[in-house]
Structure 1
Amino acid sequence: MRSLPSLRSSVHASFKPPSRYLWLRARYVSTTPQRQSGQLSTSPSDTPVSQSKGKEKETAPVADAAAAVAHDELPLLQRPLGVKEKPKARVKTWSDTKEKFMDQDKRMEERTHLAREAMRGHFSDLNATRKHGGKTWIAPKVMIREDRALYFPDIHGTSLAGREEQVHTTNILEGKVSVVTLLTTRISEIQAAQFVEPTQRAFGSNPHFQFVQINLQDNLVKSWLVSLFQSGIRKQVPEKLWPTYMISNQNMEYLREPLGIGNKHVGYVYLVDTNKKIRWAACADPKSEEVAALATCTKVLLDRLAKQQELIAPAADSSSSIPAVEQQS
């Protein structure tokens, strides 16, 4: 028993940490003074450095905030929306899909589309509504030029008028100035109504103007529920708008990019001319200048159409009067 203390002291005396370990420990302690309570350096040589760092910390948030505000501004619509090919009132078949994959350019477009969709998360659109309410661009104040405008694609579905056969936007939009809205959620309905209400109130009685609503539900369950409650929708929509209210379950996966649908949870509004070309577009929560721009652009198109009708009418009257003169003679 008496040998234990001597054995313990000999063990402690024999154990000596290596010099490299001591050097690393001293380096770690010297470079982290905040961990040592009350041992911060207060030498005169350190004072200017600490003050300059404090000034940097005070000015940095201001500069970052200004840059964030500048970066956070929504851009104007940078490109014409729509498709290049003139739409046709028919549902695509397997032969159309086969022809698409036989074309090299269309195969490359398909590959690009799949890569883009693979990078999108399942809840990406829902998460995007936290920023600007899902708004991705600002509507232009003027119309897109006719020679640069693209066509509104063909969307098929059933109307509230009670017709069982399929109706197509290509037929509905023919020969009229149309304000078209894409509705997917209750929020999108409210947003679209705020956009269109002043224009509808001003030009609703014009025979060359129409308001087209597309209740788009590409999810099969949602589409079935919407079709199940058509009677409730009829109570909310005025009867004169039933022929131009469409319920569609068409897959819009390949039309999101052409139509600028950056978020499927918000509403989209398009001004389409008599040639089925998109001349103006807006999305999500309306701004006052966007609402005014829609009314102004609609008036311009209606005035142009009225002038064209006035020019065509005298020519038609003169041509119809020629046979009458010949009969009298």
Structure 2
Amino acid sequence: MLRRVASRSSPIAVFQARLFCPTGPTDQTLRTIPYFHVTTRGFLDLHKMTSKEAIEKEKARLSDELSRGYFADISEMRKNGGKIAVANKILIPEVAAVKFPELEVNLTDCTTMKLPVVTGDKNPDVSLMCLSFRESSQRMVESWSLPFLDKFGGDTNIQIYEVSFVDSWLLSLGPIKRSFIKIMKKSSKPHQHIVYALGDHYYFRKQLHILNLLTGYVFLLDRVGRIRWQGFGTATDEELSNLLSCTSVLLDDK
């Protein structure tokens, strides 16, 4: 119930309701449309379940998902306010840094791209990846991205990607996806990219050890896509200072 209340007034929930009620959604509409709330931690890909191996893999995934539910996220948020760990104070050494997993995202012009950008002429020296899995965590990632943009917004060697994850199967459908993307938030700043990852992101989360979907995640990447720094939740003054100084070090070492 808590999840439905949280998502009822979100832009995503409203958009889905308009698909079925062209005259405009109401609270009653948002409550009664079945299965279309953006409330799940993921969904099963039925087309994969054509072999015993695939079925066993999905069973293991389902068990993993059920072991960590929404109320566990809520409980953790009440305890630490989204600070699931303290942000790095210094850069992670190159030998210990792991690659940020590849992720296909949708831009607001309905094109797609793969992150991180590590090849080509537009390959940045430093990238800040801000991940938000629920609308409630967008302000958390903005507590990092906005000061970062103020400090480095004029540097062409830096790019900021604010990624919103939407795990609704309905919004992953072609024509609906294009309509949804067109109405979503856009950025007017050349170095800030607001992008959307639609569909199943379970295995992506597994690679980054992301469990709580209610908090925000921030990763600082070097030129080859390695994670050199990471933060969580809402930025503190000290953590933000560390992020900015680590970014300056990366730029000096390029």
Q: Is contact 2:128–2:219 with CA below 8 Å preserved after alignment?
A: yes
For 2:179 and 2:82, the matched residues in 1 are separated by 27
- TM-score for both structures, normalised by structure 2: 0.67
In structure 2, relative to structure 1, the CA distance for the partners of 1:151 and 1:250 (3 Å cut) is farther
Q: 88, 94, 104: which is aligned to 1:156? A: 104
Q: 1:1-329 maps to which residues of 2 (within 5 A)?
A: 115-160=63-108, 162=109, 164-171=110-117, 174-221=123-170, 228=180, 230-231=182-183, 233-234=185-186, 237-241=187-191, 244-305=193-254
Q: Which letter maps to 2:183?
A: S
Q: Is contact 1:150–1:278 with CA below 8 Å preserved after alignment?
A: yes
CA offset at residue 240 of structure 1?
2.3
In structure 2, relative to structure 1, the CA distance for the partners of 1:110 and 1:291 (3 Å cut) is farther
- TM-score for both structures, normalised by structure 1: 0.53
Q: Is contact 2:74–2:214 with CA below 8 Å preserved after alignment?
A: yes
For 1:165 and 1:298, the matched residues in 2 are separated by 29
In structure 2, relative to structure 1, the CA distance for the partners of 1:143 and 1:166 (3 Å cut) is same
Q: Is contact 1:156–1:250 with CA below 8 Å preserved after alignment?
A: no
Q: Is contact 1:157–1:250 with CA below 8 Å preserved after alignment?
A: no
Tell me what 2:23 maps to. Answer: none
Q: Is contact 2:124–2:159 with CA below 8 Å preserved after alignment?
A: no
In structure 2, relative to structure 1, the CA distance for the partners of 1:304 and 1:128 (3 Å cut) is same
For 1:171 and 1:116, the matched residues in 2 are separated by 31
Residue by residue over 1:30-85, the C-alpha shift from the partner in whole angstroms, topping out at 9 and shown as x without a partner, is xxxxxxxxxxxxxxxxxxxxxxxxxxxxxxxxxxxxxxxxxxxxxxxxxxxxxxxx
Q: Is contact 2:103–2:204 with CA below 8 Å preserved after alignment?
A: no
Identity %: 26
Residue by residue over 1:235-274, the C-alpha shift from the partner in whole angstroms, topping out at 9 and shown as x without a partner, is xx325256x3211114221232332323111211100100
Aligned residues: 200
CA offset at residue 207 of structure 1?
1.3
For 1:152 and 1:304, the matched residues in 2 are separated by 20
Which SS does the other structure have where 1:256 is aligned? helix
Q: Is contact 2:169–2:199 with CA below 8 Å preserved after alignment?
A: no
Q: In angstroms, what is the RMSD of aligned CA positions?
A: 3.2
Q: Is contact 1:155–1:250 with CA below 8 Å preserved after alignment?
A: no
For 2:73 and 2:170, the matched residues in 1 are separated by 19
In structure 2, relative to structure 1, the CA distance for the partners of 1:124 and 1:184 (3 Å cut) is same
Greater Cα shift, 208-217 or 128-137: 128-137
CA offset at residue 113 of structure 1?
5.5
CA offset at residue 172 of structure 1?
6.5
Which SS does the other structure have where 1:139 is aligned? coil
Q: Is contact 1:175–1:275 with CA below 8 Å preserved after alignment?
A: no
Please identify which structure carries the higher strand content. Answer: 2
Please identify which structure carries the higher helix content. Answer: 1
Which SS does the other structure have where 2:246 is aligned? helix
Larger RCO (alpha carbons 8 Å, 6+ apart): 2
